């Protein structure tokens, strides 16, 4: 039996410390993400959606008294530093709530970054061409072929979001974690972004998407609701 879910959170706890005040955000979240599903995490502003997604992506740590987050049965806390880097960079693709593109770099360069991280000089020389082609193909699929050489600071919000998603997918991650991928966009542009996510999901990528918008959440195959520090099935 090797049926561990792709991602599992068990009694996950996270408290922020603001000065001397503890701000509990997650107080016992249980969640399974099965390989191949498209899960939406919904909840009001401040309910901890970004916090949970960052924890799932290995970008932040759970509290000392928290239960584990496991990836294919392995506790993220048990990862070596090298395994942790590989998890963040290869197993998971992360789309941040506010894009986090590097404004001075071109669209093409931004999308290539995760594939270049950690390469030695020789590997870099050997692989740069293939990575450039992979990024260009992905960006072209995303309708950005005419923007490859533009700086990301010159793009519209919808274009930036597409670059951010291309960057998250460049290493062909098992799971795409997307934080409000349509949050800053008009409805039509937002649904265009969702079409891109849907097509990736259609090719087998697991998707976990945060949103506060019911119409957006409805495109996922399952929804959970975050409230009072816990996750509940939304159906």
Contact footprint for ligand ATP (CB under 6 A): 16, 18, 23, 25, 43, 45-51, 97, 212
Decide whether 109 or 161 has the Cβ nearer to ligand ATP: 161
DSSP code at position 95: E
CB of 180 to Mg ion, least distance (A): 6
Which structure tokens are listed for 58? 């290995």
Decide whether 49 or 88 has the Cβ nearer to ligand ATP: 49
Look up tokens 């957006």; give the residue.
216
| 174, 205 Cβ separation under 8 angstroms | yes
- Total chain residues near Mg ion (CB under 5 A): 1
Please identify which residue in 8, 38, 50, 209 interacts with Mg ion, judged by CB under 5 A.
50
CB of 59 to Mg ion, least distance (A): 13
What's the CA gap between 7 and 32, in Å, rounded? 6
What's the CA gap between 178 and 78, in Å, rounded? 24
Return the one option of Mg ion, ligand ATP, none that residue 12 interacts with (CB less than 5 to 8 A, by type). Answer: none
Which of 207, 179, 132, 190 has its CA nearest to residue 156? 190
Q: Which residue is nearest to Mg ion (CB)?
A: 50
Return the one option of Mg ion, ligand ATP, none that residue 82 interacts with (CB less than 5 to 8 A, by type). Answer: none
* Alpha-carbon 142 to chain mean position: 17
Residue 211 interacting with Mg ion (CB under 5 A): no
Which of 203, 204, 170 has its CA nearest to residue 89? 170
**DSSP reduced 3-state for 167:** helix
Decide whether 25 or 101 has the Cβ nearer to ligand ATP: 25
CB of 71 to ligand ATP, least distance (A): 20
Return the one option of Mg ion, ligand ATP, none that residue 152 interacts with (CB less than 5 to 8 A, by type). Answer: none
What's the CA gap between 159 and 55, in Å, rounded? 27
């Amino acid at each position: 039996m090797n049926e561990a879910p792709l991602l599992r959170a068990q009694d996950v706890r996270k408290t922020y410390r603001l000065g001397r005040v503890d701000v509990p955000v997650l107080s016992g979240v249980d969640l399974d993400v099965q390989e191949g599903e498209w899960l939406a995490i919904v909840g009001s502003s401040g309910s901890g959606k970004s916090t949970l997604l960052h924890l799932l992506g290995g970008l932040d740590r759970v509290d000392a008294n928290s239960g584990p987050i496991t990836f294919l049965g392995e506790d993220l806390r048990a990862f070596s530093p090298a395994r942790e880097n590989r998890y963040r960079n290869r197993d998971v693709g992360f789309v941040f709530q506010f894009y986090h593109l590097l404004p001075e770099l071109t669209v093409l360069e931004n999308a290539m970054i995760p594939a270049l991280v950690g390469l030695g000089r020789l590997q870099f020389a050997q692989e740069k061409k293939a990575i450039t082609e992979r990024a260009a193909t992905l960006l072209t699929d995303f309708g950005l072929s005419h923007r490859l050489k533009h700086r990301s600071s010159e793009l519209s919000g919808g274009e930036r979001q597409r670059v951010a998603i291309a960057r998250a997918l460049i290493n062909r991650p098992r799971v795409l974690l997307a934080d409000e991928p349509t949050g800053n966009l008009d409805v039509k542009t937002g649904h265009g972004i969702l079409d891109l996510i849907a097509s990736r999901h259609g090719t087998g990528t697991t998707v976990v998407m945060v949103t506060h918008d019911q119409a957006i959440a409805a495109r996922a195959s399952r929804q959970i609701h975050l409230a009072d520090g816990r996750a509940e099935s939304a159906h």
